[in-house]
Amino acid sequence: MTLSQWRQDARHDWWRGATIYQIYPRSFMDANGDGIGDLPGITARLDHVASLGVDAIWVSPFFTSPMDDFGYDVSDYRGVDPMFGTLDDFRALVDRAHELGLRVIIDQVLSHSSDRHPWFQESRRDRTNARADWYVWADPRPDGNPPNNWMAAFGGRAWTFDARRRQYYLHNFLPSQPDLNFHHPEVQQAQLDNLRFWLDLGVDGFRLDVVNFYFHDRRLEDNPPMSRERIQPGNPQSYQFPQHTISQPENLAFLERLRALLDEYPGATTVGEIAGNDQLPTMAAYTQGDRRLHMAYTFDLLGSTGDATELHDVLARFATLGDGTWPCWALSNHDVERSATRWGEHRALLALTVLCSLRGSLCLYQGEELGLPEAELAYEDLQDPFGINLWPEVKGRDGCRTPMVWEDRSNGGFCPEAVRPWLPVFERHLTLAVARQNADPDSLLARVRELLQLRGGSEVLRQGEQALIEPASLPDDVFGVIRTLGERRLLCLAHLGRAGTARIDLDGLLAGIAGWQPLDLPGMDLPALEGTEWCLEPGQAAWFEPR
């Protein structure tokens, strides 16, 4: 099938209610035996991804980069870093994914580049060159200090002095990741042109890294201090509220330009990462209507521990923001502790069952289908600059980035046994390897496949509206939503407590429905009916349809 045929046949709104599988290339599969995952490795393992029943893959950065931040510092927006393969390898990946019915979403890191990008090399040369204003430069204060108090995510000031220009440049992350100046129209156009390059190669959309970081406050005013209760003592950036560094109003106009580009490629989609503090209102503004992002996600559920009240409160806050927004919910990704550890390893299926009940699109992180817990690493094994700089109060992101385990043997089948992988394979992961779970019809992997098939075949879950059930209407520690599509109803409940049977009389939860019957959920016992009350045990989820 040609690219034009693929796009013509594809549903243009396929992303609504879709399940997206995130692949972190360095850790997915090593095809050339150097201990680092690569694009041919991804292609070789796409059958596993397709077997899950997901709709798309999101591939984290594989672009040319010095790898100071493992690909989130791009030195060539149109090149494949040799450690991952070639542009032809990427074309082969896209072709194979499309053959399997998988759409391909790739990361785009637009807000900042590597300091080795030719744009920055030219910009820092002097103050008069053609790209002198393509990055955020500012004069020192009279005493030589940076122009304001802005802090970087990885520790220290967000400004580095450049002796050639005798100015500071802004970097919200590492000093080797200078921020581009999106107030400059040529910068905006250059990044849009880079997006078009990948769309022409056949990608089906973009995951936009820190999408609310594109613009800064031109006045460079100091950020105000953060309220004491929200400070994370091990992270100096958390001491200030990023009022002037992110989520600036000019961002909305650029997102409309970006959406106009995507609309030229029917079926192409965007999912934005919203970072910062007050994330949900930003998420709503960025996805409102059909002129900005298709969908976005925040870190609100990426820190979830499976507490019913906390989960309800996040979704309740989101519900107040309007029906025109479309979220992409995730419990895990390459930046946070794995959900199996936060929720409890024996509750990995419960976590995904709750996730599958929510309105919106979903994102699974590689290994989540296996129930992989967070890996424990020694300091000397760390690669992540975030963890290295802030150790031990902040242990960094390496614990969720260790290699995927395909087989129950040394190095987990990720790379040859005689090769040292870029991060060590966590010994406890080996018993959860793909091959081992494939051989067990009662494994978590088997249950996740059944669960995703159930979700994918339900228009109520993929497209339906959502009403939260107020905690006061449910027993303690029970979370519930009602999904609606036309006349169809689905009631989703989960006992997220650690002890005690929850007894629930469903009559009266929804007007006009006098009786409910439970569906057979993968890996979950059917709830018991005692009189007029359904009984849920701790860790049990149940979905009900009207009789």
Catalytic residue ranges:
209, 264
Provide the token pair at 306. 């499976």
d(CA 512, CA 491): 14
Reference 438, options 449, 429, 426, 427; nearest CA is 449
**Helices 250-263 and 279-287: angle between axes, nearest 10 degrees:** 40
Reference 337, options 383, 370, 293, 304; nearest CA is 304
Can you name the residues that pair with 490 across neighbouring β-strands? 483
Residue whose pair of structure tokens reads 């000397």 in the numeric block: 380
- Give the CA-trace dihedral at 86, 90, 92, 97, to 10 degrees: 160
The number of CA neighbours under 13 Å toward the Cβ of 238 is 10
Residue whose pair of structure tokens reads 């094994």 in the numeric block: 381
Q: Give the burial class of 287: count Cβ atoms within 10 A of its Cβ; 0-12 exposed, 13-18 middle, 19 or more buried.
A: buried
Reference 254, options 289, 215, 198; nearest CA is 215
Q: Quickly list DSSP for 233-257.
A: TT-GGGGB--TTTS--THHHHHHHH
Taking the CB of residue 118, how many other CB atoms lie within 10 A of it?
11
Residue whose pair of structure tokens reads 């090399």 in the numeric block: 121
The 8-class DSSP code of residue 424 comes to: P
Report the chain's terminal Cα–Cα distance, integer Å.
44
Three-state DSSP class for residue 349:
helix
Q: Give the burial class of 76: count Cβ atoms within 10 A of its Cβ; 0-12 exposed, 13-18 middle, 19 or more buried.
A: middle
Residue whose pair of structure tokens reads 């000019």 in the numeric block: 250
Provide the token pair at 17. 């209610």
**Beta pairing, strands 137-138 & 56-59:** unpaired
Reference 31, options 403, 436, 416, 407; nearest CA is 416
**Helices 444-456 and 348-356: angle between axes, nearest 10 degrees:** 10
Provide the token pair at 385. 């600059």
Contacts 24+ apart (CB under 8 A), 451-458: 451/349, 451/352, 451/353, 451/356, 451/521, 451/522, 451/523, 452/19, 452/52, 452/53, 452/54, 452/356, 453/53, 454/356, 454/519, 454/521, 454/522, 455/19, 455/356, 455/362, 456/19, 456/53, 456/55, 458/490
d(CA 423, CA 381): 7
